[in-house]
């Protein structure tokens, strides 16, 4: 895809990209922000998913969801810009890394899975807010979500080695 390659080459010439490569401290600082952000994101999502799967069944799911999912969305303000900056340090190299592409595909799948959950099974949550098992589809989507986030973290960690 010459257009994507051209955009990656252009990105690599920008002062931001040069700073990410040239500064000895910028990359580790941005990576720390990325890690702090996804710790909150994946932590919040995992606790919500475990509740849907039946842990702490007496906790009202809607109240828990309002609390945790707000933190998950807010954490994206750290995770995504920091991830884009890390990417900008070596755009060509990351684009040619299959693990990076797999990570992006898994992120899109996790987003679609969450959107499908909220637009579908979660609409009926009033019937299973507290003290009841969630319907099988909701539990399957929560289990899939946990697997996807684990795979995303694994891909992120593998980037340094592949």
Q: What's phi and psi for 58, nearest 5 deg?
A: -80, -15
Phi-psi region of 56 (alpha: psi -120 to 50; beta: other; left: phi over 0): left
Check residue 40 for interaction with ligand HEM (CB under 6 A): no
CB atoms within 10 A of CB 74: 13
Q: How far is the CB of 90 from ligand HEM (least distance, A)?
A: 8
Using CB under 6 A as the binding rule, whether residue 34 contacts ligand HEM is answered as yes
Q: Give the x-and-dash track for 95-134 against ligand HEM (CB under 6 A).
A: ------------x---------------------------
The verdict on 79 binding ligand HEM (CB under 6 A) reads yes
CB atoms within 10 A of CB 143: 14
Stretch that binds ligand HEM, among 1-9, 49-57, 79-87, 139-147 (CB under 6 A): 79-87
Q: How many other CB atoms are found less than 10 A from the CB of residue 90?
A: 18
Residue 131 falls in which region: left (phi positive, over 0), alpha (psi -120 to 50) or beta: left
Nearer to ligand HEM, 135 or 146 (CB): 146
As given in the structure block, the two tokens for residue 106 are 């898994």
State how far the Cα of 126 lies from the Cα of 66, in Å rounded to an integer.
14
CB of 123 to ligand HEM, least distance (A): 25
Residues forming contacts to ligand HEM in the complex (CB under 6 A) are: 31, 34-35, 38, 41-42, 79-80, 83-84, 86-87, 94, 107, 152-153, 156-157, 159-160
């Amino acid at each position: 895809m010459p257009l994507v390659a051209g955009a990656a080459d252009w990105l690599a010439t920008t002062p931001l990209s040069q700073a990410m490569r040239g500064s000895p401290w910028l990359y580790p600082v941005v990576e720390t922000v990325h890690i702090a952000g996804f710790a909150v994101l994946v932590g919040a999502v995992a606790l919500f998913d475990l509740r849907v799967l039946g842990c702490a069944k007496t906790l009202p799911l809607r109240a828990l969801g309002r609390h945790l999912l707000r933190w998950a969305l807010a954490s994206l303000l750290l995770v995504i810009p920091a991830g884009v900056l890390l990417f900008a340090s070596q755009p060509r190299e990351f684009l040619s890394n299959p693990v990076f592409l797999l990570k992006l595909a898994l992120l899109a799948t996790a987003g679609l899975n969450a959107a499908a959950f909220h637009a579908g099974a979660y609409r009926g949550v009033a019937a299973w807010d507290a003290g009841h098992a969630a319907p099988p589809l909701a539990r399957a989507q929560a289990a899939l979500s946990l697997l996807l986030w684990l795979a995303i973290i694994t891909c992120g960690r593998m980037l340094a080695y592949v």
